[in-house]
Amino acid sequence: MSHDSRLTGVFSPVLTPFDAALRPDAKRFLNHCRWLRARGVGLAVFGTNSEANSLSRDEKHALLDALLEGGIEPAALMPGTGACALPDAVALTRQAVQAGCAGVLVLPPFYYKGVSDEGLYRYFAGLIEGVADARLRVYLYHIPPVAQVPISLALIDRLLDDFPGIVAGVKDSSGDWNNTAAMLERHAPRGFQVFCGSETFLLQTLRGGGAGCITATGNVNPAPIVELFRRWREPDADQRQARLDATRAAFQRLPMIPAMKAAIAWKSNDRQWAAVRPPLVELDAAQTAGLRQELDTLGFDIEDAATLAG
């Protein structure tokens, strides 16, 4: 991979299915990843909506190996490799780079709050220097509503100065369009790839020179999101965006991960898909019924959902 390589498009933090013992289900996981790839979606496995921080390092290693052995092309993969412990992050990132993954999505270390930019710089620099591989492409994961540890514009400047090419982009899940716009204006001219963290901002991001989106609901509504990415310059782009927003809102009114898993369980007729790992809990009966009703009203469906069943 050359230093001038650039990722664009729609990626999804792939949901992690669990078996009856709440172990990661590699077969369902591979089926889901193949289904997403058939619809043009890249795979940001081990992201927030993958329940990544409820998975062990060994489980992530095994799942990534299962995808590669199952024929998923490494160029479609952007695994989440951030961890509070820097040695864990280095090990996960090294595996992804050696496998040929297109990039890695890296959370800041999130347990300690109120940490300085200097501390975060040392973490990201330590990761890059620990992996010590010119093929590494780091995509910073800015998600202050969850991590409570923001990645500042000034920190991005410093990382770009010191690790050009290696620090390749960002997923901005701040939910603040002004922040995404600032990243586009300040960093995109340096070749920094800005992905919004929800398809709600996809059209604005593309119009601002961004790379695409890395979005949870790519798991359940991939084709329409990809179509907007491909056709955002066409006259009906705003109407497409509005339809995406309505579907996103139906899921966002509920805990997102259990809601998306409930939709897959429903449409695939595979009840095991609804399983989540503690501390998350599945939707209750009333929530499930309400979600189904709203999705039916929207005309929502999951194409070829039977292929997702275990």
Q: Which residues contact 225 (CB under 8 A, 6 or more apart)?
A: 10, 41, 199, 202, 213, 215, 217, 218, 244
Q: Which residues contact 174 (CB under 8 A, 6 or more apart)?
A: 142, 143, 144, 145, 150, 180, 197
Question: What's the rounded Cα separation, in Å, for the pair 85 and 268?
Answer: 37
Q: Is 171 a catalytic residue?
A: yes
CB 102 within 8 A of CB 76: yes
Question: What's the rounded Cα separation, in Å, for the pair 253 and 308?
Answer: 24
Catalytic residue among 111, 112, 297, 307: 111
Token pair in block for residue 189: 């001219």
Catalytic residue among 93, 139, 171, 180: 171
Question: What's the rounded Cα separation, in Å, for the pair 162 and 177?
Answer: 27
Please name the amino acid found at residue 269.
Answer: N
Catalytic residue among 81, 93, 141, 217: 141
Token pair in block for residue 177: 């369009």
Catalytic residue among 48, 93, 180, 200: 48
Q: Is 141 a catalytic residue?
A: yes
Closest by Cα among 179, 56, 168 to 106:
168
Q: Is 111 a catalytic residue?
A: yes
Give the residue numbers marked as catalytic: 48, 111, 141, 171
